[in-house]
Structures are given as structure tokens and as C-alpha cells.
Structure 1
């Protein structure tokens, strides 16, 4: 059990994967489904995006980031091939294009709170990498202090994808996935990983609310999605953080008795709102 308490909802008793919006529309928003993901060969690359974003404003274009990596070698990669591969993995994980709603919102929130960034990057990775998303239940089932071995994570992928991965690839996937959860604060340790408690900020709640909204949730159900489950906060804490986000102007938030209303006037465009009602 975390110090904040395991996630539960007073208004909605069941955590649900909300998919009222078609996967085709969700893909336009930036979600990715399927079997493959960047964690087959990389972690969520937190160091790389931190460096990239520190040199560009939130409205930077995809070609700006690509130029920084491939032409100016901002990330200090040894060869052009390595730089090109780095760019492809970042696009796979994050989109890296403000035409993609999830990335545009993620990039705006990145500048809102430095302390929220590790979990924020993990949230984005979960939305776009099926391999990382598969590992979520394994991580959330652990209590603070529990040991998680690489072999246990390997077993998860071997069971889900029998005969798909070689032993070497299984090891790589497990290491990369565990590395991302470590960078996000859900695990700690180097050779031995133990479950730890991440720092959850108002910005992380905002992003979870946005992801729920873009999958079709609204009102109270926004606080009962898989994205909120990842934050592992009691509903009272989630509501408090949402209220803080409202006071800082990130969202609009109203909570009266059993009714919750959340708006995203500065995060979602009119066209995106219309897409949600198609």
C-alpha cells in the first residue's frame, strides 16, 4: 500500500478502460495500439527529451527537434545512424509533432511543472507504447518495498507473447520497461528493483484527465479511468489536485456533491472537441 493509499473512487466503484471513442479517432489524438513499441529497444528516453525541450519552446516544430538531433547532434550521439535511430524512437514514443493533440498537450504541461516530468513522460509512454502499457498491471500490483526482478517482467512478456521474443530480446524489453518505471519513480534500485512511490503532481492529474477525455470519458468517469489508476491516489487527493490545477488555470473544475465537471479550454481546440462528438 502506498502512503497516499491505493486508488479508489467514491463516485465510481470500478476502474474502467474507457473506449467510447473509436480507436481510429483515438489514433488521430495520438494514442497507439497494436503489439509493437519503442520499449523493445529503448526506455522512455527521459534524459533525451529533457535536453531537447530545454532548447526549444513548446510550439517548436517536428523538424526543429529532428534538426537538433540529426544535424546539430544536440544529444551527442556517435554516428548519423545513431542520431536518426534516436529520432525515430522519440517519434514512436512521443509523436514529437504539435499536430498530434496528445503531444501538444504533453509539451505544454511539460513546462508547467518540472517535478511532474518523470511521471508525465511515463504517462505519455503508456498512451503510445503497448509494451509499456502491458507492464502497468504488474507494477501497480506491487506494494511499496516489494522486490521486482527482471525475470518476473520477462515472464510477463513471455506469457503474453509466447515464442515471439528471443531470450535476449525478452531481457532487453524487461530491462527497458523496468528502466522507465524507475525513471518515473515507481521503482528504485539498480541491479535490484523495489517498488517505490512516485511524486504525483497536479499536472499529472491534468494529463490523466485529458487522456480520459480523449477516450470519451466525462464528468465523474474522468476520475475512474486507467490513466487515473496509474497515479495511485485516493479520489479525495485527485480532486484536490484537480482543484489546484483549476486555480492555476490549466483546466476548469467544478465539484458539487456527486457531480463533477471538468473543462479544457486552453488545452483542447474546438476541432478536437468536435471530433469527440463524431
Structure 2
């Protein structure tokens, strides 16, 4: 059975049409999804987020977490305002709340020092940042080895936000988005960004499937959801990761003819039905 069938390359649609890859859907905010953006002022802040994930004692007490940022200065910021701003943006980007179902999944599948943690961080940020979701269609449309142009993202940002943000802010958003996709392993290079294939493991694959489940996808539709398509896997890669996810108990996939049932550990899906 084919689980996924996508090749990430430029198609015949306009750049603006490609931008609808993620956005034409309402996402469940009660599960921790969000529809605002931090990219007017920040990137995905991957390095800072990794530091938080490696050092925070937990995410079930908001006051303790804020203390770690502001009083204990976990991120080594020079000013008190810098500490508060970093906490604000990271909380917007990732939730940092173990009560949120999407962040619960991140905590479940996160493995310390794993090279594909940056993919899981991107997936979590995509679930909470509308502008990042908006940019994904263009980034994925660029063929591996080709240049990703700022003008491509600028066209999308201008189309959606020309009457909301100034030209200066929109240009900043484009720079931040290019940096975010670079940090996440989809682009490389300093001035000229080249599209590369992301490094995906079984844990980021399972987390992508879980986000699809939270978004309302069921059965084999999970494997055709934007959350899985953003990983840019071919059929054989997705098939192997599905089998490995089964073996490791990260999720369960049962097939009976054309019917596919996908379930996740009870501690993740309890209360989501």
C-alpha cells in the first residue's frame, strides 16, 4: 500500500497558490495549536529551544518555568528584558506547556541529542505559527539543490500581509523565515540558500503523524496530511519509518485490505476523541 506520494519540486501553480499547503484548515487550539506568528520579530530560535529542552526540569508549572528564564537566566541573556522577551517568543512558538496535547507529543518523542530534534521542533512551531505554515508551500516546492529565493517568500508575505504590516516588517519576516528553514535543516548557505533534504528519523515521523491525528486526520489520510508531507519522504522511506514506528511502539498501524487504522499511545490520545 502506498502511504505517501510526494516529490518536493516546483509545480505549475503560482507561488501564492503553493502557499495554501498548510493554511486552508482550522487547527484545534484546545490541543495547543495556534494561529498567530512570532516571525515578525524572531526566527524559530532553535538553539534557545534546544537549551530549554535539555535543561528545563519540566513544563507543568508556568511560574517555575518563567523563573528559570528570568531569574536563573537559563539562556544567558544580558538584560532582564531580553530574558522576558525570549520567554515570550519561545512560549508562543512551542507552547512549553505539558497540558497542551501537541507539546505532550513533542515531549514523548523527543530524544536527547538526536539529530532530528530540529525537525520535531519545526513541526511543533508549524503547529503554532501561521506565517511559518504559510511559507512551507514555497520552501517545499523548491527542488533539492536549487536556490530558494527571498523573492518567492516575499510574494507570499506581500499577498497575505501587505495591508497589515509595513514593507520593513514584511522584509524582516522573509529574512526570519529563511533563517528558520535553514535552522530546521531544509536550507543551507549564508547569502544564497540552497534547498536540501531534511534528516528525518522514526521519532519525527511519529510526531508528524501524531500532529496529523490531532488535526483531525484518520487512517491512511494521516500519511497524506501536510504534517507528514512536510517531511519530504518517498514511498519506501515512509513505509520503512511506519514499520519502525510499529516495532518501537511509537504508534500502531493496522491494515485490513484497503482500511488502515492508526493509533497512538493512550497517554497521548486520551481526551482527544
TM superposition score normalised by structure 2: 0.86
Q: CA deviation at 1:81?
A: 0.9
Note if contact 2:54-2:112 (Cα within 8 Å) is conserved in structure 1.
no
Partner of residue 40, structure 1: 40
Partner of residue 98, structure 1: 98
The partner residue of 1:29 within 13, 28, 31 is: 31
Partner of residue 264, structure 1: 264
CA distance in 2 between counterparts of 1:181 and 1:48 reads: 16
Q: CA deviation at 1:51?
A: 0.7
CA distance in 2 between counterparts of 1:38 and 1:17 reads: 17
Deviation per residue, 1:177-210 (Å, 9 max, x gap): 1111101111110111111111011112111111
Q: CA deviation at 1:59?
A: 5.6
CA distance in 2 between counterparts of 1:179 and 1:65 reads: 27
CA distance in 2 between counterparts of 1:235 and 1:62 reads: 41
Partner of residue 152, structure 2: 152
CA distance in 2 between counterparts of 1:242 and 1:18 reads: 26
Partner of residue 136, structure 2: 136
1:40 counterpart SS class: coil
**Number of corresponding residues:** 258
- Structure 1: 4+ residue segments shifted above 4 A: 16-20, 57-60
TM superposition score normalised by structure 1: 0.85
Q: Mind listing any 5+ residue stretches in structure 1 that lack a counterpart?
A: 8-15
Deviation per residue, 1:242-267 (Å, 9 max, x gap): 22122112122223543322211244
Partner of residue 108, structure 2: 108
Cα 1:19–1:59 change in 2 (3 A) is same
Note if contact 2:6-2:229 (Cα within 8 Å) is conserved in structure 1.
no
Note if contact 2:206-2:250 (Cα within 8 Å) is conserved in structure 1.
yes
Equivalent positions of 1:74-223 (< 5 A) are 74-111=74-111, 114-223=114-223
Note if contact 1:19-1:216 (Cα within 8 Å) is conserved in structure 2.
no
CA distance in 2 between counterparts of 1:150 and 1:271 reads: 42
Q: Mind listing any 5+ residue stretches in structure 2 that lack a counterpart?
A: 9-20
RMSD of equivalent CA atoms: 2.5
CA distance in 1 between counterparts of 2:151 and 2:23 reads: 31
Deviation per residue, 1:31-57 (Å, 9 max, x gap): 112xx3011111111111111111135
